[in-house]
A = this chain, B = another copy of it.
Amino acid sequence: MDRIDHKIITLLAEDCRRSLADIGAGVNLSPSAVNERIRRLTASGAIRRFTVEADPEALGLPVTAFIWVALAPDSDEAAFRSFAQTRPEISECHHVTGPWSYLLKIHSPSLAGIEAFLSTLKERRFLARSETMIALSSPVDPGFSPRGDL
């Protein structure tokens, strides 16, 4: 993972469809050398996946919400984590320091969808308490990259 690998990842992040020749011109390497580096970066996990950033609104998900979750004392934390991984509306789930257990980022078609999601958390007895903040606008946002089939 040297400076060249770094540059390659930056170039791919901007546009992962540029040709190996283009990238090679940017890092003074032949297409095949670039290809080999990309193969290694992908194999090592430095590049997780080639994907598209979509506009959540275009996908019918105009509401972005952040939910602070305090897990119920008797809840199964491993179960919560796998729950989070299987719900496509959760685009992020972080175990964080501070008074809350987890921070979730949710994409939803409507506020009613957020309410329904909170109901699900309650039904499954994960929640001790929670706090929800709605994103009004997002000057910087990676958007949405659907995991699974939505």
Q: Which residues of A contact B (CB under 8 A)?
A: 1, 6, 9-10, 12-17, 41, 44-55, 58-59, 64, 66, 81, 84-85, 90-98, 100, 103, 131, 133-143, 145-150
Decide yes or no: A96 and B134 within 8 Å by CB, A51-B14, A103-B66 being known contacts.
yes
A23–B106 Cα distance when bound, in Å, is 27
- Add 10 more A-B contacts to A45-B55, A103-B133 (CB < 8 A): A1-B58, A16-B51, A48-B52, A48-B55, A53-B145, A85-B139, A90-B140, A96-B134, A100-B133, A142-B145
Could you say how many copies of this chain the assembly holds? 2
A49–B50 Cα distance when bound, in Å, is 11
Task: Write out the residue numbers on chain B whose beta carbons fall within 8 Å of the beta carbon of A66.
Answer: 94, 96, 103
Of all chain B residues, the one with the shortest Cβ separation from A90 is: B140
Decide yes or no: A48 and B44 within 8 Å by CB, A94-B137, A141-B93 being known contacts.
no
Q: Would you call A48 and B96 a contact (CB within 8 A)?
A: no
Q: Would you call A13 and B141 a contact (CB within 8 A)?
A: no
From A12, A44, A53, residue with most partner B Cβ within 10 Å: A53
Q: Would you call A13 and B145 a contact (CB within 8 A)?
A: yes
